[in-house]
Structure 1
Amino acid sequence: MRPLFRRLGLLVAVAATLLSLTALPDPPAHAAAVCGSADAARGRPATASSTEGPFGAQNAVDGDPGTRWSSEFSDAQWIRIDLGSSKNVCGVALAWEAAYAKAFRIQVSNDAATWTTVHETTTGTGGTQDLTVTGTGRYVRLAATQRATGYGYSLWSFAVRTTEGDQPGGGDTLLSYGRPGAASSSQADSNCWECTPARAFDRDPASRWATSPTTGWTDPGWISVDLGATAQIHKVVLQWDPAYAKSFQIQVSPNGTDWTPIYSTTAGTGFKQTLTVSGTGRHVRMFGTERATAYGYSLWEFQVYGTGGAPIPAPQLPADPANPPRLVWSDEFDGAAGGRPDPAKWRADPGTGQNAELQYYTDHRNAALDGAGHLVMEARKEATPGQGCPPDPLTGSTTCQYTSARMNTGATFQFTYGRVEARVKVPKGNGLWPAFWMMGGDFLTGRPWPYNGEIDIMEILGKDVKTAYSTVHAPAYNGAGGIGAPYRLPQDADFSDDFHTFTADWTSKGIVYSLDGRTVLTLDKEQVEQTRGPWIFDHPHYMILNLAVGGDWPGPTDSTTPFPSKMLVDYVRVYQ
C-alpha cells in the first residue's frame, strides 16, 4: 500500500524462536581465545558433486538436524561451502548419517579451483566428528574418496568454525555498537530523521548519520567513534547513503586528536563496503576528502570489528526458521456465516486511507465469515458522514463515498522470519486495490514510515487483474523506487477468476516470493545492500489485509466498478 505518497504495507512481528546451531565442540583451552564458536557455514551457499533425490547440499548447512545431504552411490564425491570471503578456518564438525566416509579430506580454497588439504584420514568413524584444522580460504570442501557402506555419502550437518569469531561481518567482535560518536557536523530535521553520529553505530540499518546541509556539504567531512579503550582494528564495514565519499581514509587515534591512516582510497564505490584493515587505537574515523555528489556525507552504518576496546554486547540477531518450516500461526476462517474475524488474531484498523484513497475503513462492519471457510472483505458504495476523504472524481464530494475493510495482527502477533502465505481471490473493477502485506512493528510505536520496513506480499489493481506485484520498501528505496516486480499467471489468466496462494519465504538472507508454489521474485539481502541500500527487514513485523478503493496508483472508480465488491481470503498461515 502507499501511505504518505508511498506504497506502504503493515506487517506484524513476533520474535522468532531461536533455533540451535549444529553444536560445535569447545575448542582446546589453548585455542579458546582464537577460534570462534559460531557456525560460519550455516545458511551459506553449498554445492555438491552429486545429489540423491531431494537430499540437496544446502540441507547440510541449514541448521536443521533433521535434514541431510546425500550423494550418489559411488566414490570420489564432494560437498563444498562458500563462506562469502576468505576466513581463517580452525574447526570442522561433521554429523554423518549411516552412509559415512571411511576416507576423506577437508580442504580450503580461495577460488574453488586450487585446494589445500587441512585434514586427511583413511579411518573415518562416522557419527559426529569434531576436527581441529588450520587453514585459510573462502571455500571449505569435504572430498570423500572411500565409502564405508554400499550407499553414497550422507551428512546431517557440515559446520565450520573460524577465528573471525561470533560476529557477522568478520572481525573478532563488533566494537563500535553503542559507543559514542562525533562528527564534523550532523543533520536532524524534517528531511533527515535524527541523523546524528550515534545513528551510524546503533546497528540499525534504517537510521543514519548525515552532515549538516548548512555547514557540512563541503570537504572534508568526518565521523568518528570512541571504542572506550585501545583496540586492534581488523575490519570496517560502511553502508553508505547515496551521499557517499569518493575519496576517504579510515584513521585510528589513541586520543581522538592525532590520527593515523590505515586505509585510503580515491575510488569509493558507495553502497556497502567491507574493508580489511590493520591498526591500533581507541578512536576510529572515516575522513572524507571528496564527495561523490553535491550533497554531504552520509552513512547508514559504520561498524568496526577487532579485539580489545570496551565493546557493548549487541542484541543477538534473530535465527532463521527451521527447514522445513513448521506451522506456528494460522487463521482458516472457519465459523458461522456472518461471524466477525477472530479478535484474538485480528484487530480492525478503522479510519481513512492514505495515497488519495476514497474509502473509510469500518470497525469490522465490512469484514465477515461466509460460513464456507472464507473471510469476506467487502467494499461498498455508501457515504460516511463526518469522515473526510479526497474529492471523489465522480461527485466532487469530500465525504467518504465508500466503506471497506482493513485489519492487522499488530496487537496480537508479530514475528521475525518465516514462510508467510495467504490464499486469496481478488475482486475486479476500476479503482479497487486488494493487498496482503506486512509492516515493521515499530510503526505502531511511532517510528515513521519508511524506516520500519514494508514487505508487500500481494497487491493487485482491479483495473488490471492479470498482474500482481510483490515489493519491499525502505528509506533508501520506497514508493515508486521500491524493489519488486510484477508477475502474471500462466496463459495470462485472470487473478479474479479463482483463489491463488501468495507466499513470502523470509529469512536473514532475503525474501523469496512465490505464486501458487512457483517462484516469481527473489530478493537477496547481500545484493540489495551492494546495489540499492541497507536491508532493514531483520526485525518483528505484523500482517495486514485490506481492500482499498481509489488512490494514486489504482486510479478512481467509474460507472463500471461493481459494488459491493468482495475480496475473499481462504486462509493466512505463518511457518517458522
Structure 2
Amino acid sequence: MRHRLGLLMALAVILLSFAGIPGPPPAHAADALLSRDRPVTVSSTENPFVGANAVDGDPGTRWSSEFADPQWIQVDLGASAEISEIVLNWEAAYAKAFQVQVSADARTWSTVHETAAGTGGNQRLTVSGTGRYVRMYGTERATPYGYSLWEFQVYGTMDDGGDPDPGPGEKLLSYGRTGTASSSQNDGHCQECTPARAFDRDPATRWATSPTNGWTDPGWISVDLGATAQISKVVLQWDPAYAKSFQIQVSADHTNWTPIYSTTAGTGFKQTLTVSGTGRYVRMYGTERATPYGYSLWEFQVYGTGGDPLTPPPVPPDPADPPRIVWQDEFNTPAGTRPDPAKWTADPGTGHNNELQYYTDNDNVSTDGAGHLVIEARKRATPGTSCPTDPLTGSGTCQYTSARINTGNKFEFTYGRVEARIKVPKGNGLWPAFWMMGADFLDGRPWPYNGEIDIMEILGKDVKTSYSTVHAPAYNGGGGIGAPYKLPGDADYSDDFHVWAAHWDSKGIVYSLDGRTVLTLDKARIEQTRGPWVFDHPFYLILNLAVGGDWPGPPDASTPFPARMLVDYVRVYQ
C-alpha cells in the first residue's frame, strides 16, 4: 500500500467470491472460483445474451441459447483443476434434465453430475472431477424457451504444476547449482539477473538475457547438476519475456545436446513439463521469443534422480488445527497510553505515493481508555517547521500529521489467520489501512520484491468500498491483484467497527469481512496466470492513516480534522 506507484488499483480480480455474486461463498473455504472471466464456448446464442455473460460475476447479465435441445455452455479454466463445486444461477428458462461434464481436451467428456429433475433457481452442486474444461450440457428444457444462466461458476483447486510430490528417490536437483547462459542482464531494470537467480528457489529473483546483445534468437540458460542424473520433470516460471518456441535439452559434456522436450506454442507463466532424459547438464534453448524482449525466467527447476543435489531450505509448514492465538494486542490500557513498545515501532516520515501527511514518532497515536487504539490525523492551522525533516524528501512543513506503526523486528511470522477490528474515518483525502510487508524489506530487499499483503484499504471519499490486494514483482502498483467489495445493503464502513481478516497459508490467501469470504487468491492459479507468488516467508503487521496521495486525492474544506481510525484489536492465529 505505502510502497506502490500510487496509481488506481487495477481491479484484476483473480478467483474471487464477493457480494455481487449470488449465493454464499463456496462450501470448501480453500477452494477458489476458477471460472471468472475465463473463455467460454456455447452451442448457440440468443443475441445479445452471449456466453461470456455467465462467467463475468455480474448477476444482472446472462447467457441464453436457442429454443432447442440439446444445448451447452463450456468454460476453459486454462489448466487442469480438481473441481469440487458448481453453481448454476438459472434464469426462468432452466434445464429440467442436464449434465455437468469435465474434460481435459474439450473432446472427451466425463459426467460428474446428472439429473432429470432440475429445479432451476440457484443450484449449488457438490461434484468431484478433474479437467481443464467444464460444461453444462442440457438435454431437456423446463420451458418452451431455451437455456439461460445468469451465472455459471466453477470452484476447485488448480493443479499446482510445479513443486510436485516427487516420485521414489526424486529430488529437486537444480537448487543452488552452477548455471550459464547465452547472456545476462545487469542494469537498473534488472540488477544481477544472472543464471544463478533462476536456480535459487527464490520466486522474486530472475535470470534475463542482456538487452545489449541478448534480445535475439536463440537464447539459452543451462544448469550443471554436478553429476549424471535421470531427469523426470522441469518447471519453468516465466517472466513476461518468455519463449514461444523452445527445447529442453540434456548433455553429458555441455557441448553435445539431446532434446527431451520441444514446443512451438509456449504459454509463458508457469509450465510443468514431464520429460525423460539422462545427462549432467540441462538447458532451456529458446528459438523464438514471444515478445520483442529477450528470455527471462524467475525459476528453472529440474527434478529427477542422481546428480549431486544440494538441500534447499525447508518450506514453511502450514498452521496446524485447531488454530490458537500466537500474538495479539487488545489495547486495554489507560487513555493516552502510547502503543506497547514491546509490540509496535513508530515509523516516522512522509510516506509515499505523494501523500501529504508527516508520520510522527507516536505523537498521533494512543489508546482511548475504552479498549481502542486511536490513530489521529491532524491539520495545522498553518504549516509548521518544527517537525523533523524527512530524509527521503527533505520536507519538514508538516501541514498534516498522522501515525504509522508496525511490528517489524518484534513480531514477524509466516502463515496464519490475521485479523483486526477497525472503525474507519470518513472524509475526502483520508486513507486508512491494515496491511503487511515482507520482513526482508527491513533487511534491504526493495519493494515489491519483498511482497506486500494489503488486508484493508478504504478511501475516505468512498466509505462504502473496501479493497484487499497483493503486490509482487510481476504484479504491483496499479497492477496489483485484488478486488473491491461492499457491505450488505451497501452500508457505510465508517458507521461501525468491522473485522477484516486474511487466512494465509501455502496455497494462497482467503480474505474475509465480518466472517464472510470476499476474495480468494489461489497461489497455483496466480503462478499460472500472473507470475510468481512471493508470499511464503515472514511478514510483519502495519497500521496507518494517510492523508492525501495519488489514489485518494487531497483533503478539502469538508474533511473533518482531527480524523480518527479506531482499532479494537489485532490478533494472529496459528
TM-score (norm 2): 0.72
Cα pair distance change 1:330/1:384, threshold 3 Å = farther
Aligned-partner SS, 2:313: coil
Q: Is 2:333–2:371's contact at 8 Å kept on the other side of the alignment? A: yes
The match for 1:369 is 367
Q: Is 1:376–1:566's contact at 8 Å kept on the other side of the alignment? A: yes
**How far does residue 322 in structure 1 lie from its aligned partner after superposition?**
1.8
Q: Is 2:6–2:549's contact at 8 Å kept on the other side of the alignment? A: no
Q: Give the Cα–Cα distance (whole angstroms) in 2 for the partners of residues 217 and 304 of structure 1.
A: 25
Counterparts of 1:345-360 in structure 2, within 5 Å, are 345-360=343-358
The match for 2:297 is 299
Aligned-partner SS, 2:435: strand
Amino acid in the other structure paired with 2:5: F
1:502 to 495, 500, 503: 500
Aligned-partner SS, 2:186: strand
Q: Give the Cα–Cα distance (whole angstroms) in 1 for the partners of residues 191 and 416 of structure 2.
A: 30
Q: Is 1:180–1:225's contact at 8 Å kept on the other side of the alignment? A: yes
Question: CA RMSD of the aligned region, Å?
Answer: 2.8
2:3 matches 1:3: yes
Amino acid in the other structure paired with 1:235: K
The match for 2:308 is 310
The match for 1:337 is 335
**How far does residue 323 in structure 1 lie from its aligned partner after superposition?**
2.9
Aligned-partner SS, 2:196: helix
**How far does residue 271 in structure 1 lie from its aligned partner after superposition?**
0.4
Amino acid in the other structure paired with 1:276: T
Q: Give the Cα–Cα distance (whole angstroms) in 2 for the partners of residues 58 and 398 of structure 1.
A: 48
**How far does residue 369 in structure 1 lie from its aligned partner after superposition?**
0.6
The match for 1:66 is none
The match for 1:547 is 545
Unmatched tracts of structure 2, length 5 or more: 10-26, 31-78, 82-103, 112-128, 132-161
**How far does residue 326 in structure 1 lie from its aligned partner after superposition?**
1.3
Deviations 1:104-159 (A, max 9, x none): xxxxxx99979xxxxxxxxxxxxxxxxxxxxxx989xxxxxxxxxxxxxxxxxxxx
Q: Give the Cα–Cα distance (whole angstroms) in 1 for the partners of residues 206 and 6 of structure 2.
A: 20
The match for 2:511 is 513
Q: Is 1:239–1:273's contact at 8 Å kept on the other side of the alignment? A: yes
Q: Give the Cα–Cα distance (whole angstroms) in 1 for the partners of residues 353 and 247 of structure 2.
A: 43
Counterparts of 1:1-80 in structure 2, within 5 Å, are 1-3=1-3, 5-6=5-6
**How far does residue 230 in structure 1 lie from its aligned partner after superposition?**
0.4
The match for 2:207 is 209
Q: Is 2:349–2:390's contact at 8 Å kept on the other side of the alignment? A: no
Aligned-partner SS, 1:352: coil
2:517 matches 1:526: no
Q: Give the Cα–Cα distance (whole angstroms) in 2 for the partners of residues 417 and 470 of structure 1.
A: 17
The match for 1:439 is 437
**How far does residue 327 in structure 1 lie from its aligned partner after superposition?**
1.0
**How far does residue 275 in structure 1 lie from its aligned partner after superposition?**
0.1
Q: Give the Cα–Cα distance (whole angstroms) in 2 for the partners of residues 546 and 361 of structure 1.
A: 9
The match for 2:186 is 188
2:561 matches 1:563: yes
Deviations 1:150-205 (A, max 9, x none): xxxxxxxxxxxxxxxx9646451000000011000111111113211110000001
Aligned-partner SS, 1:412: coil
**How far does residue 388 in structure 1 lie from its aligned partner after superposition?**
6.0
Deviations 1:430-449 (A, max 9, x none): 11000000000000000000
Q: Give the Cα–Cα distance (whole angstroms) in 1 for the partners of residues 7 and 442 of structure 2.
A: 17
**How far does residue 5 in structure 1 lie from its aligned partner after superposition?**
1.7
**How far does residue 4 in structure 1 lie from its aligned partner after superposition?**
5.3
Q: Give the Cα–Cα distance (whole angstroms) in 2 for the partners of residues 293 and 85 of structure 1.
A: 26
Amino acid in the other structure paired with 1:251: Q
Cα pair distance change 1:507/1:557, threshold 3 Å = same
The match for 1:470 is 468
Cα pair distance change 1:389/1:408, threshold 3 Å = closer
The match for 1:228 is 226
Q: Give the Cα–Cα distance (whole angstroms) in 2 for the partners of residues 489 and 566 of structure 1.
A: 21
Deviations 1:510-558 (A, max 9, x none): 0000000000000000110110001110000000000001100010011
Aligned-partner SS, 2:399: strand
The match for 1:394 is none
Aligned-partner SS, 1:399: coil
Cα pair distance change 1:526/1:4, threshold 3 Å = closer
Aligned residues: 432
The match for 1:537 is 535
Percent identity over paired residues: 77
Q: Is 1:389–1:399's contact at 8 Å kept on the other side of the alignment? A: no
Q: Is 1:389–1:400's contact at 8 Å kept on the other side of the alignment? A: no
TM-score (norm 1): 0.71
Aligned-partner SS, 2:398: strand
**How far does residue 503 in structure 1 lie from its aligned partner after superposition?**
0.3
Aligned-partner SS, 1:350: coil
Unmatched tracts of structure 1, length 5 or more: 10-55, 60-83, 87-109, 115-136, 140-165, 391-396
The match for 1:320 is 318
1:268 to 262, 266, 269: 266
Q: Give the Cα–Cα distance (whole angstroms) in 2 for the partners of residues 212 and 521 of structure 1.
A: 39
